[in-house]
Amino acid sequence: MTGNKAYLADYQEFKGGSIAFGGSNGRITGKGKIKAGRLDFEDVYYVEELKHYNLYSVSQMCDKKNKVLFTDTDCLVLSLDFKLPDENQ
């Protein structure tokens, strides 16, 4: 989800459901695609009330076979050809 319509390519308006986030709520009013480097996100919902925030779906990244690594401060999306070290070696 994004609150910035300018990020969305192939934008299509539609009446979606309502969402809750951070003690507030909003309504999905459209969707489009976001290209972020080598990652493409399809069906990214537009929620005006999010303003300048973006909420990316980790499951959408993983569905494309990307590895997602979380630390206490970061979320890193690794390229498809990045190999994590094998703990057994």
Tens digit of each residue's pLDDT, the chain (89 residues) = 888 899 899 999 998 899 888 788 899 999 999 887 777 888 889 998 888 777 777 777 777 788 888 889 988 888 778 877 777 76
69 within domain boundaries? no
51 within domain boundaries? yes
45 within domain boundaries? yes
pTM: 0.69
87 within domain boundaries? no
Separation CA 21–CA 40 (nearest Å): 24
Q: Which pLDDT score is estimated for 41?
A: 84
Q: Which domain holds residue 16?
A: 5-64
54 within domain boundaries? yes
Q: Which pLDDT score is estimated for 89?
A: 62
How many domains are there within the chain?
1
77 within domain boundaries? no
81 within domain boundaries? no
Q: Which two tokens stand for residue 89?
A: 């070696």
Positions of E strands within the chain: 9-13, 18-21, 24-27, 30-36, 39-46, 67-70, 75-78
Q: Residue 76's beta-bridge partner residues?
A: 69
